[in-house]
Amino acid sequence: MVAGPEEVISEVRLWRSRHGGTLWTMLPYAVSALRGLRDEMLRMAEYHQRALEMAELLAAKGIRTFPESPHCNALRIFVQAPGNVVTERVITVMEGEHLAVTSPWRHSHDVPGWSWTELVVGPATMDWSAGRAADLLARVVLG
């Protein structure tokens, strides 16, 4: 609950909307979060271990990761190519091979000529061996 002058309340209403609405509209997110806690929480150590493996394998193929040794099941991967070029490579594989390899790539503002995306290890990632997944990622994002 928020109490205060009308101009403060108006601003709070705007930000509540920006953050997804009211508790009523948050129900699907809460249900999804509960399902995740029930079904995925027990696998987080396994996902983290796979992220560590993937980071090591990708680094050996010339794909930088941050952090070098992931602290959880997610990490950023970086390649020396413009984001739109790497995204086009990903789209080509999606259309031709029906595989969603990564999310769209973004230009790295810190390092010109490089781009990045976030890699999150989850159930779909576990369907492949770490080596097979790293080989596919390298083939796609490095061209």
Using alpha carbons only, give the angle 70, 74, 75 rounded to the nearest 5 degrees. 60
**CB atoms closer than 10 angstroms to residue 92:** 11
pLDDT at 24: 64
Whether residue 27 is predicted with pLDDT greater than 90 in this model: the reply is: no
pLDDT at 12: 83
pLDDT at 28: 83
Whether residue 25 is predicted with pLDDT greater than 80 in this model: the reply is: no
Q: What is the pLDDT of residues 81-98, one digit of tens each?
A: 999 999 999 999 999 999
Dihedral in degrees, nearest 10, Cα atoms 105, 127, 44, 52: -60
Q: What's the chain's average pLDDT?
A: 91
Give the burial string for 69-78 (b: 16+ CB within 10 Å, else e): ebeebebebb
- The rounded distance, in Å, linking the Cα atoms of 53 and 44 is 14
List 76's β-bridge partners, or say none. Answer: 66, 118
- The rounded distance, in Å, linking the Cα atoms of 62 and 16 is 43
pLDDT at 1: 61
Query: Up-side HSE of residue 82: CA atoms within 13 Å toward CB?
Result: 3
- The rounded distance, in Å, linking the Cα atoms of 41 and 9 is 37
Q: What is the pLDDT of residues 123-137, one digit of tens each?
A: 999 999 999 999 999
pLDDT at 104: 94
Give the pairing type, strands 115-120 and 106-107. antiparallel
Domain boundaries, the chain: 6-39, 43-141
pLDDT at 133: 95
The class of domain 43-141 in CATH terms is alpha beta
| pTM summary value | 0.77
Asked if 118 contacts 75 with a C-beta cutoff of 8 angstroms, the reply is: yes
**What confidence tier does 3 reach under pLDDT thresholds 50, 70, 90?**
confident
pLDDT at 46: 96
Whether residue 17 is predicted with pLDDT greater than 90 in this model: the reply is: no
Whether residue 29 is predicted with pLDDT greater than 90 in this model: the reply is: no
- The rounded distance, in Å, linking the Cα atoms of 46 and 130 is 12
